[in-house]
């Protein structure tokens, strides 16, 4: 067999090459950008190159539909007829030309052409060059051009599927939908929680981060949270040693709402952010963390049993099991059902969600969510509580699941989350002004962009303390 002779091409910058490879994998394999950006290959990039790779990947995914519309208009052909590698190179070039004003046009164009050659699509090089040169002449910074005058304008100018914008408008109003869409189109803040360790108090951890050129600010919702203003937290010794965890404030709040118990069950526990916080708040409890997939359970075990001497590792048992069919005879006084969901409250962090999700997916998700909630309710002791949560903005995955479960089991009542948030405010845990703004009915409801955090839903269900 004759080996193919490599096609010579000029070297492409490491950041653009990495971004190109990630975007092609996302198109071909339905991979997730957040995972690929933290893979071993990306860890070899310098801090500057990794930052540019992240900007390119996330920017292309956020503005996917606008980029494709522009490419189709300039090239006079549908993007569905363009090879994946060629289309990705065009998107990368068009994004740099329209959104990244500090990158010279010739660099954006030339490197996109070289990426096509690198991908063995040399015959398309002149096409890419011509389309991007015309794009350069017409390029305008579009990031600030989101128009929320109508559902149609908002969907088109914010690069969101119209069916999602219509749903959010119907549920929360057009003004809130516009804030959600705008939030989704910008990089969200990195928020961390400092682990309470046996060796180092939080103040000492903050001082160490400062010495590693990390600038922090207080959290917006929680007194224990910190926002990263400057620096890459993942490249610090504090992060590597497991002394801090990247975790959105709404996610932290859900874990805090679970409260205190002696026997705690955390279902669908990976990647483990909530598990760690629950264990930290309940150092004397017996806690079980359940994860369906064995490989994720192993990663969860590794995360929670970190080498930093953390109290989190001492009281958690990780079990690989299906949350729909829990293998326990024991009853638990606190249960967290943080169920798999559409993730529409995290589109700012995972922009590929909005292009992959279809309306019919919500019913499939609801069926599994309801099965998990039923299973976890069966594990609750008398007087015990179940916290059901999602990072979804969709009613089918939230209120509808709770209402159906309550119809089926009258031994539970819904606890008003407003009372719990008011209690946390009095304790100094919640610093967000006005707990009612985090509430929808009796439920916790954060909206990305309306609050400076991911969109989360949580319901607290309490089992009657005596049997009927």
- Which residue reads 């069926």 in tokens? 367
Provide the residue count of the chain. 468
- Which residue reads 């209120």 in tokens? 399
CA distances from 133 to 13, 265, 295 (A): 20, 58, 46
What tokens does 134 get? Answer: 């015309």
CA distance 394 to 379: 26
CA distance 137 to 75: 14
Residues 6+ apart with CB under 8 A from 4: none
Output the CA angle 294-295-299, nearest 5 degrees: 115
- Which residue reads 């198109």 in tokens? 27
What backbone torsions phi and psi does residue 40 show, to the nearest 5 degrees?
-60, -40
Burial class (CB in 10 A: 0-12, 13-18, 19+), 305: middle
Q: Quick one: which H or E segment has residue 63?
A: none
What backbone torsions phi and psi does residue 382 show, to the nearest 5 degrees?
-60, 130
CA distance 377 to 461: 9
CA distance 94 to 67: 7
Assess contact for 360 and 396: CB atoms under 8 A: no
What tokens does 387 get? Answer: 């916290």
CA distances from 425 to 63, 163, 257, 432, 436 (A): 38, 37, 12, 8, 11
Assess contact for 404 and 461: CB atoms under 8 A: no
- Which residue reads 């004759």 in tokens? 2
CA distances from 137 to 67, 130, 132, 218 (A): 15, 11, 9, 43
CA distance 174 to 181: 10
What tokens does 309 get? Answer: 């001497």
Active-site residue list: 391
């Amino acid at each position: 067999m004759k080996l193919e002779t490599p096609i010579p091409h000029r070297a492409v910058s490491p950041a653009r090459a990495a971004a190109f490879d990630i975007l092609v994998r996302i198109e071909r394999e339905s991979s997730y950008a957040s995972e690929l950006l933290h893979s071993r290959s990306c860890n070899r990039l310098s801090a500057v190159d990794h930052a540019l790779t992240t900007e390119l990947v996330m920017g292309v995914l956020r503005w996917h539909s606008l980029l494709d519309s522009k490419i189709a208009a300039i090239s006079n052909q549908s993007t569905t007829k363009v090879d994946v590698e060629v289309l990705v190179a065009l998107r990368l070039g068009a994004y740099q030309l329209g959104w990244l004003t500090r990158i010279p046009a010739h660099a954006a164009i030339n490197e996109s052409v070289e990426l096509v050659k690198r991908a063995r699509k040399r015959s398309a090089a002149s096409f890419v060059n011509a389309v991007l040169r015309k794009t350069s002449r017409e390029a305008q910074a579009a990031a600030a051009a989101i128009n929320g005058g109508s559902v149609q304008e908002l969907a088109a100018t914010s690069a969101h599927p119209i069916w999602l914008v219509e749903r959010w408008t119907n549920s929360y109003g057009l003004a809130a939908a516009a804030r959600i869409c705008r939030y989704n189109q910008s990089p969200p803040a990195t928020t961390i929680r400092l682990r309470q360790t046996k060796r180092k108090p939080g103040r000492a951890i903050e001082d160490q981060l400062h010495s590693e050129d990390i600038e922090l600010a207080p959290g917006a919702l929680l007194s224990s949270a910190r926002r990263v203003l400057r620096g890459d937290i993942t490249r610090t010794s504090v992060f590597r040693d497991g002394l801090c965890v990247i975790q959105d404030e709404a996610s932290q709040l859900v874990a805090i709402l679970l409260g205190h118990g002696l026997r705690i069950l955390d279902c669908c526990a990976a990647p483990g952010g909530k598990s760690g916080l629950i264990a930290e708040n309940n150092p004397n409890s017996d806690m079980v963390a359940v994860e369906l997939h064995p490989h994720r359970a192993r990663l969860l075990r590794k995360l929670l049993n970190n080498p930093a001497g953390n109290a989190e590792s001492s009281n958690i048992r990780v079990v690989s099991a299906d949350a729909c069919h829990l293998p326990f005879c024991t009853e638990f006084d606190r249960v967290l059902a943080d169920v798999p969901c559409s993730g529409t409250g995290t589109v700012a962090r995972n922009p590929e969600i909005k292009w992959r999700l279809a309306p019919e997916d919500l019913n499939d998700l609801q069926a599994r969510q309801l099965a998990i909630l039923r299973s976890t309710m069966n594990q609750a002791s008398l007087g015990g509580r179940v916290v059901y949560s999602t990072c979804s903005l969709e009613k089918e995955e939230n209120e509808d699941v709770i209402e159906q479960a309550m119809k089926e089991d009258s031994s539970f009542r819904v606890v008003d989350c407003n009372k719990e948030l008011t209690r946390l405010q009095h304790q100094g845990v919640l610093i967000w002004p006005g707990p009612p703004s985090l509430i929808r009915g009796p439920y916790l409801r954060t909206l990305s962009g309306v609050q400076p955090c991911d969109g989360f839903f949580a319901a607290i269900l309490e089992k009657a303390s005596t049997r009927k």
